[in-house]
Amino acid sequence: MTASREERMIADESSLGPRFEQVAAPQDDRPRDSRRDESQIRSAEASSSAGAVLRTISKTLSRTSTIDPGPPPDGGLKAWTQALMGHLVVFNTWGYINSFGVFQTYYVNALNETPSAISWVGSVQIFLLFAIGSVSGRATDAGYFRAMFFTGSFLQLVGIFMTSLSTQYWQLFLTQGICTGIGNGLLFTPALACISTYFSKKRGLALAIAASGNATGGMVFPAIVETLLPKIGFPWTMRVLGFLMLGVTSITLALMKTRLPARKAGPLLELAAFRELPYSLFAIGMFLVLWGQYFGYFYIGSFGRDMIHLSQADSFNLIIILNGIGFFGRLIPGYVSDRWTGPFNYVIPCAFTTGILLYCWASITSHDALLAWAVVYGWFTAGMQGLFAAMVSSLTDDLKKAGVRMGMIFSVTSVALLTGPPLAGALIQRGSGRYLEAQIWAGTMILAGSLVLTGARISKTGFRLMVRM
C-alpha cells in the first residue's frame, strides 16, 4: 500500500512537469551583449522621461514664483493691517530712538560724561538703523523678509535687556548703540518696503500711519522712564521697556506679510539710480536736512535744564510733547500729500520752516516759550519724517526695487544722523555750554537741504508750480 501510494505521487509529478514548463517564462537565446544594449536604451528612455517631468515641474514652479500679483490693492483689510504693523515696528524702533533725549539727560548726570560723548550712543543707533538699510532692503526684495525680521527682533531685544545690565559708558555704547541699532536696521527698511508694495494712491497716508509710530513710541517710552526711573531704578526700568517691546514684536511677527514675489536677480546696490538727477539731489538734500534735524530731539531736554533751569521731570515732559505732537504731524501731512500736494510739495516748505525755527530757538528764555517752540518744531519735523519714505517711493517706478532704492537713501543719510548730534554737542562744548553755535549750524544745514530738495523737484517736474509731486 505504501509503495503503491509513492509510485502514484511520482507519476503525478511527472505528469505535471510539462504544464509547469508551458507556464514558465521563455528563455532568451539572444547574445548577452544584445540584451545589455537594449537594457541601457530602456534605462536612458526612462531617465529622459523623468528629466522631462522634472523640467516641466521646475518651469511650473518658476512661473508660479514669479507671477505678477497685479497692481497694489491700495486698501482692504490686509493692506491696512500692514500699515498698522508698520506703525508698531516704528514704535519699537524710531519711538525708542526719539526717546533718547531722556537718556541723554540721565546719562550725562549719572556717568559724568560730556553731552557730545553721550550723544554718540544715540547717533550710532540711528546710523545703524539707516546704514543697514541697503542690505536689509535688498534682502527683502530677494525674499528674505522673514529672516531679516526674526534676526532684527532678536538683536533689538537682546540690546534692550543687556542695556539694563550696563553701568559704564562703553557697555551702553555696545548694547544700546550697536546691538539695538543693528536690530532696528534689520526691521525698519523691510517694514517700509513691504508697506509700499500694498499702496499706490494712498501710499503717503499708509506710510504716515506707519511713521506715526515714531510719535506713539516717543510718548510712551519717555513716560515710562519718567515714572519708573525714580521708583525702581535704571535696570528694571529698561527691563520694563524690553518686555513692552517683546509684546509688540510678537504681534508684528505674526501679522506682517509680503505681497510681491522674490526678486532673486539683481545687485545689492542699484548704483544706476544715482545717475538719475532727482534721486541724487534728493539724497543730498535729505542728508543736509537730517544732519541738523535731530539736534532738537537730542538736546531740548538738556537745553531746558542747562539754560532755563527746568527740573528733570519738566525736561522729560518737553520730550514727550515734542514727540507727541508728531502723531498728528505725520497723519495729517500723509492725507494732505495723497489728496492734494504730493510728498515733495509738502516736505520742502516744512524743511524751510524748520530751519527758521532753529534760528528762533536761540532767543527762547522761558519755560512757556520753549514749550510752544517744541509744539511747532515737533509738527514740522514730523511732517518731514512721515513723508520721507513716500518721497523715495515717488522716485521709484518699479516697486520690486523699492527695498534696495529706499535702503540706499537710508545708507547715505545715515552718515548725517551719525555725525549730526555729536557735532552739535562739540559746538556746545566749544561755546562753553552755550547752544547758539549749534542752533545756527543746525538751522543753516536744514535751510540748505530745503534748497537742494527744491532742485530735486524741479529736475523731475520742471518749473511748473502746480504739479503734484
Give the pLDDT band of residue 25 (cuts 50, 70, 90): very low
pLDDT given for residue 415 in this prediction: 93
Burial (0-12, 13-18, 19+ Cβ within 10 Å), 367: middle
For residue 225, what are the CA distances in angstroms to 50, 108, 133, 237, 239? 65, 16, 29, 6, 11
41, pLDDT greater than 70: no
- Per the prediction, the chain carries an average pLDDT of 84
Name the residue type at position 256.
Answer: M
pLDDT given for residue 72 in this prediction: 87
Average pLDDT for residues 31-44, to the nearest whole number? 50
For residue 17, what are the CA distances in angstroms to 3, 5, 99, 110, 308? 22, 19, 99, 106, 119
Looking at the chain, the whole-number percentage of residues with pLDDT higher than 70 is: 84
Average pLDDT for residues 7-27, to the nearest whole number? 43
Give the pLDDT band of residue 29 (cuts 50, 70, 90): low
449, pLDDT greater than 60: yes
Q: Long-range contacts: 427-434, Cβ < 8 Å, 24+?
A: 428/115, 428/116, 428/299, 429/114, 429/115, 429/116, 433/306
Question: How many whole angstroms separate alpha carbon 124 and alpha carbon 132?
Answer: 12
pLDDT given for residue 202 in this prediction: 87
Q: Provide DSSP, 439-465.
A: HHHHHHHHHHHHHHHHHHHHHHH-S-T
Question: How many whole angstroms separate alpha carbon 458 and alpha carbon 442?
Answer: 25
- Residue 283 has phi, psi (to 5 degrees) of -60, -45
SS3 364: coil
What does the pLDDT look like over 309-350, one tens digit per residue?
Answer: 999 889 989 999 999 998 899 899 989 988 899 999 999 999
Question: How many whole angstroms separate alpha carbon 331 and alpha carbon 327?
Answer: 7
Average pLDDT for residues 187-206, to the nearest whole number? 88
Average pLDDT for residues 463-467, to the nearest whole number? 85
Q: Selecting from 1.10.8.60, 3.40.50.300, 1.20.910.10, 1.20.1250.20, what CATH number does the domain 72-461 have?
A: 1.20.1250.20
280, pLDDT greater than 60: yes
Answering whether pTM is above 0.85, one says no
Q: Provide DSSP, 10-47.
A: HHHHHHHHHHHHHHSPPP--S-HHHHHHHHHHHHHHHH
- Residue 35 has phi, psi (to 5 degrees) of -65, -40
Q: How many CB atoms lie within 10 A of CB 261?
A: 14
What does the pLDDT look like over 87-141, one tens digit per residue?
Answer: 999 999 999 998 888 898 889 888 888 888 999 999 999 899 888 877 887 788 8
Which residues lie closer than 8 Å to 357 by C-beta, 6 or more apart?
A: 373, 376, 377, 380, 443
Question: How many whole angstroms separate alpha carbon 203 and alpha carbon 196?
Answer: 6
Give the pLDDT band of residue 32 (cuts 50, 70, 90): low
Choose between 180 and 394: higher pLDDT. Answer: 180
Q: State the cell numbers at 159.
A: 540690546
186, pLDDT greater than 90: yes
278, pLDDT greater than 50: yes
Looking at the chain, the whole-number percentage of residues with pLDDT higher than 90 is: 54
Give the pLDDT band of residue 252 (cuts 50, 70, 90): very high
Question: How many whole angstroms separate alpha carbon 219 and alpha carbon 212?
Answer: 11
pLDDT given for residue 67 in this prediction: 63
For residue 187, what are the CA distances in angstroms to 81, 155, 164, 268, 407? 17, 10, 22, 18, 12
